[in-house]
Amino acid sequence: MSYQVFARKYRPQDFDSVVGQEHITRTLRNAVEQNRLAHAYLFVGPRGVGKTSTARILAKALNCEKGQSANPCGKCQMCRDIAAGTSLNVMEFDAASNTQVDKIREIIIENVKYAPTSGKYKLYIVDEVHMLSNSSFNALLKTLEEPPAHVIFIFATTDVQKVPTTIISRCQRFDLRRIPTKLIDDHLQFIAKEEKIALEEGASQAIAKGAEGGLRDAESMLDQLVAFCGNKIVESDVLSIFGFTAQQTVSGLCDHIIGGDSPAALSLVYQQAQDGKDLSKLLSDLIGHLRDLLVTKASPDTTNPDLDAAALAALKEQSEKIPMDRLLELIDLFAATESRMKWAPNKKLHFEVAVIKAVHTLQQTTLSEVIDTLSILRGGGEPATPSLPAAPVKRESAPAPAPRIQVVSSAPPKPAAPVAAPPPVEAKPAPPAPVVAEKPEPVADENVWIELLKLIRGNRPLISPWVEAGTLLKIENDTFIVGFPKEQSLSMESLQRPNNRKFLEELIATVTGRPLTLKCELREGLVVAPPVLPESKPAAKADEDFKNDPKIKKAMEIFEAEILTK
- Residue 477, Cβ neighbours under 10 Å: how many? 6
pTM: 0.60
3-class DSSP string for 122-151 = EEEEEECHHHCCHHHHHHHHHHHHCCCCCE
Please state which of the ranges 246-250, 452-456, 482-486, 552-556 shows the lowest mean pLDDT.
552-556
Cα distances from 524 to residues 245, 270, 470, 482, 485, in angstroms, run 41, 45, 13, 14, 6
Question: What values do phi and psi take at 379, rounded to 5?
Answer: 75, 30
Spatial separation of the C-alpha atoms in residues 218 and 244, rounded to whole Å: 13
> Tens of pLDDT along 416-426?
444 444 444 44
What does the alpha-carbon distance between residue 163 and residue 132 come to, in Å, rounded to a whole number? 9
What is the predicted pLDDT for the residue at 302? 65
Query: What confidence score (pLDDT) does residue 370 get?
Result: 65
> What is the b/e burial string over 26-53, where b = at least 16 CB atoms within 10 angstroms of the residue's CB?
eebbebbeeeeeebbbbbbbbebbbbbb
151-167 tens-digit pLDDT: 899 999 999 999 999 99
Mean pLDDT within 527-548:
64
User: Which amino acid type is present at position 513?
Assistant: G
Residues 306-324: tens digit of each pLDDT: 666 777 788 888 888 888 8
Delineate the domains of the chain, giving CATH numbers in brackets. Answer: 6-175 (3.40.50.300), 181-242 (1.10.8.60), 247-363 (1.20.272.10), 365-412+437-566 (3.30.300.180)
What are the tens digits of pLDDT across the range 336-345? 999 888 888 8
What confidence tens digit (pLDDT) does each residue in 29-66 have?
Answer: 999 999 899 999 999 999 889 899 999 999 999 988 88
